Chains A and B, each alone.
Chain A
């Protein structure tokens, strides 16, 4: 018999594995810091770089793309070689994949803390890094598909399907959502505006959860769970069924992030319906994982790897039940913009992604280093402290989310808001914030224990970079298409399979996205809505750079309680010049869409200098640097011209007078401040920011006045 000898590349697995542990610690540490900053804002040490708005995207990016991302690569690079009985397609591509990804992470960390951001959640990185991400991701895909093409194993195991759909979909999502017009090397504007931008962003945002945090981990589950339990998956048929239904349905569910927003109703309903349908395939996956252990639960008791997997898969089941529930409009009305959403997300990330990763690491390290785990006891300690951390994290956030939302909505018998001061509802939930940070700290302690245990294991074992293996080559496909073997034929063709998976997700994507293009021309024009002035445009960029949208929404929903609290609800036509949209997803502070003209310029100045001077007890960090920093308006002309290219109706040649107009508007604000005893130079950032805040949501007031 013809036998080929080859080596598995374990070196690349080792690199990704170590990166997973290191970035896991970093990402979780930043998480604990920002959780603590929410009740001790002084922990930003008075620096712009370490302020909540900047660190929050750093935390999410580090957790998702650095920790979970490297965990995905670790698992894929290990398992794909084994299920295909082949070395990775190209060692060079593997190395580019690894070092390219680490470079992206470092660039992300540097740019996010310095305020270089697009503001779009989980897609904050600026365009040069976006291009780099696309290139490295394609390298990963080519390497993976190349391996499948040259595989020795005749069949493609289901895990690889999940990997391929991950690659294809994330590529489409990333490119689709990152289409932006560069203004300078580190500044760009989204080509989409307002409602359209929101739909594209959440088509991306939701599917990033689906295809970065879910499908690759289902693939890993289908490989590592049977491996660790030493028995095949409960039902292979179920795995196929839920694979196709999952990727087909997931792609439609994005608009559930925009319920009660200015997005058209039909898109909202589409999102809700598909979200509810998603429940079934998700639970198909969960049950398939858990039932694999039927009759082997005794092994779970003394095997830390299986323990982690059981909690991981259970957390997946919990969050995929909670998700459809949250996409019901009446539940969403209560939960959106509150801590409940964070609780939901963290059941998924801490439970599903975190615990699946830890289980995989505890299985892989002894295997790769050919030894036993250094301490099973420590792994059990990690398991319990991690589980406890999760519980202490999630339950207070459910509690605080519901408490705060009910307070926002409560009226007195006389028909007035019971808690008209937003701050009151924040101070009520501070104890929950404290609990949450303790939960995070416990979880962080868990990963520190894990890293000690794993590095000790590595120390006592011996690592083989090149692991010898042999397998028979894959002969030509001899079977003809005789009796309904079409899928079997397709499944043996990796590239064709990739194309079909692409078609499946594109159909969903296109049907969801195309109408939003059509919507553009159908958004009722509100005559009084005008483009931002040059000073307001610069102020808006300061708002973006300081990531104010991390804590403040700009979207008043059509509820009596919100109209009462903030003013007229937000209309689609008000956002037509918003490149990018800044609706936000969380109200740690109040909504700002109707903030314009609500307070005086002086109020904003003093509030930015020290929020507590205006709102005693406020948990917003001070922004004294805005009062000191000189506004960098050197790119103003380029910004105006870029906006015009995107369809904002600035007249030709407006660039030439923009600086003069800006100075004039700044002068008005400075004079007003001077009248109130505040001396500030007109070229400071604060002046531009005040101009922007005072403009927010006011155009429509002019319309109302005109109609009267």
Chain B
């Protein structure tokens, strides 16, 4: 018996690839939209987190924001 027979014997199996495609594209498009709508300042704040002084407060930006 051919393996493709399993495929046809699963009910509505053709829906799986469709679900796959839709989900993947939704996530991908969502991520792209989100990324390109971010402002520079926000991104630069994030990317500098590891470079901040770990031990003492030296980041005035942080200060302003928490107020």
Contact = CB atoms under 8 A, between A and B. Distances in A.
Interface in B9-57: 9-11, 13, 16-17, 19-20, 23-24, 27-28, 31-32, 34-38, 42-51, 54-57
Q: Which of A227, A263, A270, A511 has the most CB of B within 10 A?
A: A511
Interface in A607-661: none
Contacts of B7: 264-266
Contacts of B38: 237
B34 A487 contact: yes
6 residue pairs, one from A and one from B, having the closest CB atoms: A232-B47, A236-B47, A157-B49, A264-B6, A469-B55, A237-B35
Contacts of B1: 524, 571
Contacts of A82: 50, 54
A343 to B, nearest CB: 30
B47 A515 contact: no
Contact of B45 (A1, A3, A155, A504): A155
Nearest to A232: B47
A413 interface: no
A168 to B, nearest CB: 16
Nearest to A475: B66
Interface stretch (A131-139, A240-248, A675-683): A240-248
Contacts of B4: 264-266
A245 B20 contact: no
Contact of A524 (B5, B34, B45, B54): B5
Interface string A182-214: 000000000000000000000000000000000
Interface in A53-88: 79, 82-83, 85
A462 B50 CA distance: 24
Contacts of B6: 264, 266, 519, 522-523, 572
Residue with the greatest number of chain A CB neighbours at <10 A, chosen from B4, B44, B55: B55
A1 B67 CA distance: 9
A158 interface: yes
A470 B52 CA distance: 12
Interface in A248-279: 248-249, 252, 262-266, 270
A1 B56 CA distance: 13
Contact of A252 (B5, B20, B55): B20
A468 B57 CA distance: 12
A41 B4 CA distance: 43
A85 B49 CA distance: 10
B60 to A, nearest CB: 10
Interface residues of B, number: 44
A469 B55 CA distance: 4
Nearest to A514: B16
Contact of B43 (A237, A515, A522): A237
A472 interface: yes
B27 A245 contact: yes
Contact of B3 (A237, A473, A507, A572): A572
Nearest to B17: A270
A464 to B, nearest CB: 11
Contacts of B46: 155, 157-158, 236
B10 A226 contact: no
16 contacts: A1-B57, A79-B50, A83-B49, A83-B50, A155-B45, A226-B50, A232-B50, A237-B35, A244-B28, A244-B31, A245-B27, A245-B31, A270-B20, A484-B37, A507-B23, A515-B13
Given A226-B50, A233-B47, A264-B6, A469 B62 contact: no
A123 B10 CA distance: 30
Contacts of A393: none
Nearest to B43: A236
